[in-house]
């Protein structure tokens, strides 16, 4: 992802830390696999190192061709040049009469020029002949200006005399209201640069220059493995010791936000063989494992991943989501997301989201709308740890949400967004200005 | 659309004017239909009046029920209360051992307590009995805390002695690491309020409380009528006097951004009967007519709309898009968008976009990410007119894009966004801070 205007570093920022700048990539050293079940994490990887590892190990997927109408939001896999100009003929920029400008020189209210109207030109129905001095044709916006004509008199500035003449009260300089060939795009112009996230108008411009299909980065597929005997799919009623899974819904929606084309949710029973079978069977570009990533007796995913693939990070210096991890099956990333719903959301945003966007060619940077405002009360963190702090906008101030346990999903529905406290800070003081990453795009409007 | 935090007025702002506040609704007076073809507009409606009229005449569509997984991004049509608490049983918040806290009182490194481990509890596989003083069960995060137990000793803080005892070095107070019933949601709590744009976590929380489907506002359908004999569909090669339409692609993508479920594009030949047949035949919630809205000989749409329905506004005091208009077929809005691509985009954003969002229950406010910065050079406008000025971010400053004709689509692909100059301003001075509405969400990251 490159840009012309020097903002590449900003776009590349892997996460919106309160400070610290670029990840110090040279500091990463993957730890040897340890079985941490029921013994806890001895050391945790820093968020920066974890993110830097993902940046090194993941890159955009292959290219595919899509129709321009389907290209909006996709990422151009190559630059596209115009093979022809837009417009490819001189066109009227106004409704009125095409004239030879010289015919109108000296025209005034007291001594108007009268031009003979010899035909008309409408878009798609050009006037086939040429006009001469003293002649005009009625012309509509967008129609080709006929040979001989070099200006357009606006409808409001001329006056029909009968049905075959127009009276002109002031001169029309040559070139007036004529859009020349290539006014919008010249043949050979770069219409779209490689890496561009295509906007509606980019797709429109591609169509204008005669491009029907465009090479874009393929969108990733995702499989979500929801592990846990206690979990029932959405639509079930909680009963006994069983609860309804919410992580699948959240991960489905977030991954679609980040450009995923299909997200398949699979429920997996607790058990080493079940987890291994599900992981080994996943064919998607990305696997998200929800639950079973920590140090409990049923937390099989880290060990299974280390055996059938590679466990690169397990345990991160952050709150929530400290049991998060990730690794690879071949080149395909596998994210181990804690089962607690806030931890799952948080670990997705820090690790899976940027990677999924990058696979589809999008910027790794978080896509949230932002708003800066002073804190209504302090936020306490720890040096060396990154915190994901849910906050509420309270008038012109930002208030941390008090019920902040990792299992309290309602803390993220009460919140308007989050403040990220970087590892280089012990927190923020009351009154200090912080940047809120908003959960809702309309929350940014002030 | 209402909110609790006093920002309702901000959310309701129909367009991001530089000033002027709420539309002065009492000032609107619809003009009588006039045939302005080849005579020009005598007077134009103000943007504020046009927007206020749309606000009065359009409202959210009917309600439908969707599965919670499909509800993200949709708007809740009614408030939803939890019928049961989350969790509906006391649960372990950590991996470790469930204990009777009192059993550990007085435990120290020198005088540890030893508890007999009588069973285990995992999520979905609870311990069915009750434990007593001096007993423990191994427990995993999320499992029900068994009867008798009132605290959880973290895995890191206990030590297995053989396979049936655990050694404890410090007391565990009752309640420690136990998530009580209703910790996340109490039965009867409002989980989602009417009017809420549902986030991933809202859908997740609905699933958690046993809700499988939710009432949301129906998403609108759109028909786009592309008028003009000169226009060919995307994928064609421009030739002779014919060009390839770009407005259909742009309107398709923008309407999908604004929540439209299906957008059908129809190409319509110039001609009164053709336009009338297409307009009368459209069954969609919204009709967007591209081209044929101005004062040229083939601009049939305004007159046809006034005859088979109602032409409410034709000609608006804005630049570009001054020939824009809109009206109604019954209660269904019809937008007359100029054929020039920048005008089409601009008129969509001011009139069609907010209306389409409102039909789907979304805020009318523009969804663009915003960024404030000083102007690198002045912007000149006119009192009484609203201007849509394409700008480029140039380092820390905002530069107007020079090639600003309404027919120059590339001006919107070169631009990073737009500055809106309200009708109450003659422009902005060099160095004055303006708000840019960004075409790309990642453009907001600074």
Q: In angstroms, what is the C-alpha Rg of chain B? A: 31
pLDDT at B30: 30
Contacts of B369 in chain A (CB under 8 A): 369-370, 441, 444
Rounded Cα–Cα distance for residues A321 and A316 (Å): 7
Together in a domain, B17 and B136: no
Nearest CA in chain B to A84: B238
Give the CATH number of the domain where residue B262 resides. 3.40.980.10
Checking if the pLDDT of A424 tops 50, the result is yes
Q: Is the pLDDT of residue B195 over 90?
A: yes
- Largest alpha-carbon pair distance within chain B? 100
Q: Do A228 and B365 touch (CB under 8 A)?
A: no
Work out the pLDDT band at A43, boundaries 50, 70, 90.
confident
Banded pLDDT at B25 (limits 50, 70, 90): very low
In this predicted structure, which of A45-54, A234-243, B286-295, B339-348 has the lowest mean pLDDT? B286-295
- Which of A125, A94, A198, A199 has its CA nearest to residue B406? A94
Chain B: closest CA distance from residue A312 (Å)? 23
Whether residue B134 is found in the same domain as residue B188? no
Please report, for residues B17, B277, B318, the alpha-carbon distance to residue A328 in angstroms, rounded to integers and kept in the order given.
Answer: 49, 58, 55
Work out the average pLDDT over A83-103. 95
| pLDDT at residue B28, rounded to an integer | 26
Which residue of A207, A242, A247 is in closest CB contact with B124? A242
Q: Is A183–B408 a contact, with Cβ atoms under 8 angstroms apart?
A: yes
Q: What is the CATH number of the domain that holds A420?
A: 2.40.340.10
Q: Is residue B305 part of a domain?
A: yes
pLDDT, residue A214, reads: 98
Mutate to test the interface with B, among A204, A229, A301, A405 (most CBs of B within 10 A): A204
CB within 8 Å: B204 and A341: yes
Q: Would you state the structure tokens that stand for residue B272, as one six-digit string?
A: 């009164």
Interchain CB distance below 8 Å, A95 and B297: yes
Q: Do A341 and B446 touch (CB under 8 A)?
A: no
Q: What is the CATH number of the domain that holds B195?
A: 3.90.105.10
Which residues in chain A touch residue B87, judged by CB atoms under 8 angstroms apart? 243
pLDDT at A39 over 70: no
Minimal-distance CA residue of chain A relative to B213: A235
Q: Is A204 left (phi over 0), alpha (psi -120 to 50) or beta?
A: alpha
Measure CA A164 to chain center.
55
Sign of CA dihedral B94, B100, B101, B107: negative
pLDDT band for A296, please (50, 70, 90 cuts).
Answer: low
In this structure, is the dihedral angle defined by the CA atoms of residues A270, A274, A276 and A282, taken in order, positive or negative? Answer: negative
**Is B410 in contact with A191 (Cβ distance < 8 A)?**
yes
Q: Which residues of A touch B413 (CB under 8 A)?
A: 191-192, 199, 201-202, 205
For residue B126, tell me if it sits in a domain: yes
CA of A146 to nearest chain B CA: how many angstroms apart? 11
B146 and B202 together in one domain: no
- The pTM of this model reads 0.90
- Taking residues B394-403, report their average pLDDT: 91
Please determine, for residue B21, whether its predicted confidence score (pLDDT) is greater than 50.
Answer: no
pLDDT at residue B295, as a whole number: 67
- Cα–Cα distance between A52 and A285 in angstroms, integer? 20
Helix (H, G, I), strand (E, B) or coil at A26: helix
Alpha-carbon distances, residue B132 vs A358, B118, B135 (angstroms)? 54, 10, 6
> Looking at the predicted structure, is the pLDDT value of residue B160 above 50?
yes
Same-domain check for residues B173 and B190: no
**In the structure, what pLDDT confidence band is assigned to residue A63 with cuts at 50, 70 and 90?**
very high
- With beta carbons under 8 A apart, name residues in chain B contacting A189: 410
Give B442's contacts in chain A (Cβ within 8 Å): 11, 197, 363, 365, 367
**Average pLDDT of the segment spanning A419-443:** 93
Q: Which residues of A touch B341 (CB under 8 A)?
A: 201, 204, 208
- In this prediction, residues A231-240 reach a mean pLDDT of 96
A380 secondary structure, DSSP code: E
| CB spacing of A156 vs B185 below 8 angstroms | no
Q: Say if CB B357 and CB B59 are below 8 A apart.
A: no
State whether A150 and A260 are in the same domain: no
Does A118 sit behind a cis peptide bond, omega within 30 degrees of 0 on the bond before it? Answer: no
Other C-beta atoms lying within 10 Å of the C-beta of residue B425? 19
Total length of chain A: 446
The partner residue sitting opposite B230, judged by closest CB among A6, A16, A123, is A123
A413 and A273 in a common domain: no
pLDDT for B370 equals 87
Per-residue confidence band for A405, with pLDDT thresholds at 50, 70 and 90:
confident
Question: Where residue A346 falls among pLDDT bands split at 50, 70, 90?
Answer: very high
Q: Which residue of chain B has the CA closest to A342?
A: B201
Average pLDDT, integer, range B149-178: 94
Res A21 pLDDT > 50: no
Q: How many CA atoms lie within 13 A of B406 on its CB side?
A: 25
Domain stops at, among B320, B336, B359 = B359
| Pairwise CB contact (< 8 Å): A204 & B247 | yes
Same domain, B148 and B206: no
Nearest CB to B208: which of A210, A244, A340?
Answer: A244
Domain boundary among B359, B378, B395: B359
Indicate the average pLDDT of chain A.
90
Q: Given a cut of 50, is residue B246 above it in pLDDT?
A: yes
> Nearest CA of chain B to the CA of A264: how many Å?
12
How far is the C-alpha of B75 from the C-alpha of B96, rounded, in Å?
42
Which residue in A has a C-alpha nearest to residue B410's C-alpha? A184
- Residues of chain A contacting residue B6, judged by C-beta atoms under 8 Å apart: 395
What is the rounded average pLDDT for all residues in chain B?
Answer: 90
Q: Do B229 and A124 touch (CB under 8 A)?
A: yes
Query: Is residue A33 pLDDT above 50, yes or no?
Result: no
Average pLDDT over residues B64-71: 97
Tell me the mean pLDDT in the region A298-320: 95
Find all residues with CB under 8 Å of B39, minimum gap 6, and list them: A155, A156, B295
In a domain, A3, yes or no: no
Residues B224 and B341 in one domain: yes
For A155, which of B38, B141, B245 is closest by C-beta distance? B38
With residue A231 as reference, give the H or E element that holds it.
strand A231-232
Interface mutation target, options B1, B36, B200, chain A, most CBs of A under 10 Å = B200
CB burial of A57-92 (b: ≥16 within 10 Å; e: otherwise) equals ebebbeeeebebbbbbbbbbbeebebebbbbbbbbb
Which domain covers residue A247, as residue numbers? 8-62+219-359
Between B123, B185, B204, which is nearest A250 by CB?
B204
Whether residue B418 is contained in a domain is answered as yes
Q: Tell me what the mean pLDDT of segment B152-160 comes to.
A: 92
Alpha-carbon distance values, B412 to A5, A190, B388 (Å): 16, 14, 11
Name the closest residue on chain B to residue A264, using Cα atoms.
B69
Given an 8 Å threshold on Cβ–Cβ distance, is B245 in contact with A207? Answer: yes
Adjacent-strand bridge partners of B151: B99
- Using the beta-carbon criterion (under 8 Å), do B249 and A439 form an inter-chain contact? no
Percent of chain A past pLDDT 70, that is, above it, reads 89
In a domain, B3, yes or no: no
Instruction: Decide which of B123, B150, B179 is a domain's last residue.
Output: B179
> How many structural domains is chain A composed of?
4
Contact B155 A439 (CB under 8 A): no
pLDDT given for residue A429 in this prediction: 97
Q: Are A332 and A226 within one domain?
A: yes
Q: Are residues A351 and A231 in the same domain?
A: yes
Query: In which band, very low, low, confident or very high, does the pLDDT at B3 lie, cut at 50, 70 and 90?
Result: very low
b/e map B203-215, b = 16+ CB within 10 Å: bbbbbbbbbbbbb
Residue B223, φ and ψ in degrees, nearest 5: -115, 130
What per-residue confidence (pLDDT) applies to A24?
Answer: 34
Residue A2 lies in a domain: no
Report how far residue B346's alpha carbon sits from residue B338's, in angstroms, rounded to the nearest whole number. 9
User: Is A85 a residue whose pLDDT tops 50?
Assistant: yes
What is the rounded average pLDDT of the residues A389-417?
92
What is the C-alpha to C-alpha distance for residues A169 and A434, in angstroms, rounded to an integer? Answer: 63
Record the tokens describing residue A234, joined without a space. 């959405």
Residue of B nearest to A140 (CA): B296
What is the model's pLDDT at position A134? Answer: 96
- Quick one: which of A371, A235, A265, A436 has its CA closest to B369? A371
Which of A334-348, B186-200, B284-298, B301-315 is predicted with the least confidence, judged by mean pLDDT? B284-298
A130 in a domain, yes or no? Answer: yes
Q: Above 50 in pLDDT, residue B335? A: yes
Residue-level pLDDT at B16: 54
Q: What are the distances in angstroms from CA A301 to CA A38, A263, A266, A275, A356?
A: 14, 20, 15, 6, 20
Under DSSP, is residue A12 helix (H, G, I), strand (E, B) or coil? helix
* Nearest CB to A246; choose among B10, B16, B207: B207
Q: Give the residue carrying structure tokens 């990333």.
A: A333
Say if B108 falls within a structural domain.
yes
Quick one: A202 and A249 in the same domain? no
Interface test with B, best of A234, A252, A346, A348 (most B CBs within 10 A): A234
Considering the domain architecture, whether residues B201 and B120 belong to the same structural domain is answered as no
Tokens of residue B142, six digits = 């999320």
């Amino acid at each position: 992802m490159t840009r012309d205007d020097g903002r590449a570093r900003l776009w590349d920022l892997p996460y919106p830390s309160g400070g610290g700048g670029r990840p110090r990539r040279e500091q990463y050293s993957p730890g040897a696999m340890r079985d941490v079940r029921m013994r806890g994490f001895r050391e945790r990887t820093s968020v920066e190192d974890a993110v830097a590892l993902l940046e090194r190990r993941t890159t955009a997927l292959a290219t595919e061709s899509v129709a321009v109408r389907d290209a909006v939001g996709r990422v151009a896999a190559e630059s596209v040049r115009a093979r022809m100009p837009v417009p490819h003929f001189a066109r009227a920029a106004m409704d009125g009469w095409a004239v030879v400008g010289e015919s109108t020189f000296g025209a005034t209210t007291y001594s108007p020029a009268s031009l003979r109207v010899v035909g008309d030109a409408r878009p798609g129905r050009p006037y086939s002949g040429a006009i001469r001095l003293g002649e005009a044709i009625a012309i509509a916006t967008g129609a080709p200006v006929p040979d001989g004509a070099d200006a357009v008199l606006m409808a409001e500035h001329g006056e029909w005399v009968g049905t075959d003449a127009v009276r002109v009260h002031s001169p029309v300089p040559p070139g007036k209201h004529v859009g020349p060939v290539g006014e919008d795009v010249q043949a050979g112009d770069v219409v779209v640069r490689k890496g561009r996230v295509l906007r509606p108008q980019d797709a429109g411009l591609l169509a204008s220059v005669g491009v029907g299909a465009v090479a874009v980065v393929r969108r990733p597929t995702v499989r979500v493995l929801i592990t846990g005997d206690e979990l029932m799919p959405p639509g079930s009623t909680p009963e006994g010791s069983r609860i309804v899974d919410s992580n699948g819904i959240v991960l489905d929606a977030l991954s679609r936000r980040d450009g995923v084309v299909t997200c398949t949710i699979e429920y997996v029973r607790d058990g080493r063989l079940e987890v291994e079978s599900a992981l080994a069977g996943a064919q998607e570009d990305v696997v998200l494992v929800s639950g079973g990533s920590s140090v409990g007796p049923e937390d099989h995913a880290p060990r299974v991943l280390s055996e059938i693939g590679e466990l690169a990070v397990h345990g991160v210096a952050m709150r929530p989501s400290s049991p998060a991890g990730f690794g690879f099956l071949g080149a395909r990333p596998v994210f181990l997301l804690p089962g607690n719903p806030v931890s799952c959301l948080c670990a997705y945003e820090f690790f899976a989201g940027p990677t999924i966007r990058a696979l589809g060619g999008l910027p790794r940077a978080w896509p949230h709308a932002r708003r800066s405002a002073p804190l209504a009360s302090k936020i306490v963190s720890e040096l060396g740890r990154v915190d994901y702090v849910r906050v509420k906008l309270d008038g012109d101030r930002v208030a941390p949400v008090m019920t902040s346990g990792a299992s309290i999903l309602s803390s993220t529905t009460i919140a308007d967004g989050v403040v990220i406290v970087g590892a280089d800070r012990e927190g923020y003081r009351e009154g200090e200005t912080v940047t809120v990453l908003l959960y809702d795009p309309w929350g940014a409007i002030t």
